[in-house]
Amino acid sequence: MSALPALAGHVLGGEERAEGGDRHDVVSPFTEEVVGASREAGAALVDEAVRRARAAHERWTRVAPAARAELLETLADLLERDGDAVATTVSTEMGMPLWLAAATQVDLPTRVLRSTAALTRTLAWVQPSDGSVLHRRGAGVVGAITPWNMPVHQIVAKVAAALGAGCAVVLKPSEQTPYDAVRIALLVAEAAAVHGAPADLLQVVQGTGPVTGAALTQHPGLDRLTFTGSVAAGRQVAAAGAATLTPATLELGGKSPALVLPDADLERVVPAVLASGLVNSGQACNATTRLLFPAGVLGEVEELVRAEVDRFVLGDPADPATRQGPLVTRAHRDRVLGHVAGALADGGRLVTGTGRPSEVVGHGWFVDPVVLADLPADAAAVQQEIFGPVLVLQGYDDLDHAISLANDTRYGLSAEVWSAGTDDARATALAVAAEIRAGQVKVDGVRTRERPAVPFGGSGDSGWGRELGTHGLLEMTELTAVMA
């Protein structure tokens, strides 16, 4: 891995700045060594960032949509140009395998930028409606808070929509992954310079949620809040937004089912479901962590699960052979193992895994893939998001039971339905998918990152609002009806 700079600074006016309060170390999840740091932005820095963003918005919102789209396309080109460095930065910060970082933190965000640019060109910014003319405009200054697990993608999903709509952004990234945010902010400034746009379109203020995040979400100068993270933190963001009447988009996680229909080919489906459930060591909000199968084939499913998990290679994130990297921090690894211990205490049975820190690598915060069976539907491991390489098998009796199990969760973010793939089988799968309460339901192996313009988000404890596509762009706008 390439060495990171000693400090990830704040970015204001397109320039990196080193001032701030408390130091927060960035520790490699693989080597367990300090690889960098950031400093806490206090209220004064946040206020400066918001004021700068306000001035940038006032200029940017008057720029034609086609010109805003051109800036997004330039930003996509720059991200591709620096893709190797961006992927390496993410992998160093949070342990994602380098090949996965290239796919999800460079290729996917690049396609999101280009799809958002296309939508920016074609959206009806002005249109007649029922005796009025509707004018859509950028909402204003957007406060964005992003997580560590898919850091660049989450930044771009928010920033692309905001810039396309004519907004400016103040971003607080996770203190675990501050460096990639600096890279993206400097690329935005570079793209802005190419197009003569304001240098302050994207400000970055580093720090923790309780200090910098609180200063940002409570700032009265924001017009939108957008947040991805835990349910508990999301409630705090929503409360802060309510105090200033600032609308918020919240993406708070999931407990996603993969419902395998009776006619599906298990030898094809089980590896695919495990791939989506264990991606990024299970540190993905839409990971399929509940595997629903006909009860009569659970024995066969368990055999296939064991065989597939044996193919997972844990190791150095920079090694192309590594399929699963470490968890992001020691504390997070211990939380995940605590969930496994709780599941065993609830009567669960280990199909794979040990429920202890992995001994495969010898260092780093690794957990062997864990698959659990025999848990009641109300067990904590079935109901709560674990955010690690832990999956639960659930047998169902018939399709009504299967749909009931799939919907038996406070989350409503994502789901999968698997069939034999024939025309008749797919018709059944589509009908079942329509019965599942989730923001996205993917049939027969479609992946979220293959469809960057499809809206993403959920309901219940998964939050509210949508990112990506037309719906994500509209989240960043206000509507004026002019009647004459």
What is the distance in angstroms between the CA of the first residue and the CA of the last residue of the chain? Answer: 62
Round to whole Å and give the CA distance between 411 and 97: 28
Alpha helices in 244-354, H assignment, sequence order: 266-278, 298-309, 330-345
Known catalytic membership, residue 167: no
Element (H, E) at 481: strand 477-483
**How long, in residues, is the chain?**
484
Q: Catalytic residue among 175, 251, 416, 467, which?
A: 251
Cα dihedral: 306, 310, 312, 315 (round 10): 130
Copy the structure tokens of residue 169.
């952004």
Residue from 275, 292, 293 nearest 284 by CA: 275
C-alpha closest to that of 16 among 206, 222, 219, 221? 206
Residue of 48, 285, 385, 416 marked catalytic = 285
Strands (E), 118-277: 126-129, 132-138, 141-145, 168-172, 202-204, 224-228, 248-251, 256-260
251 is known as an active-site residue: yes
d(CA 286, CA 279): 10
SS3 label, residue 467: strand
Active-site positions? 251, 285
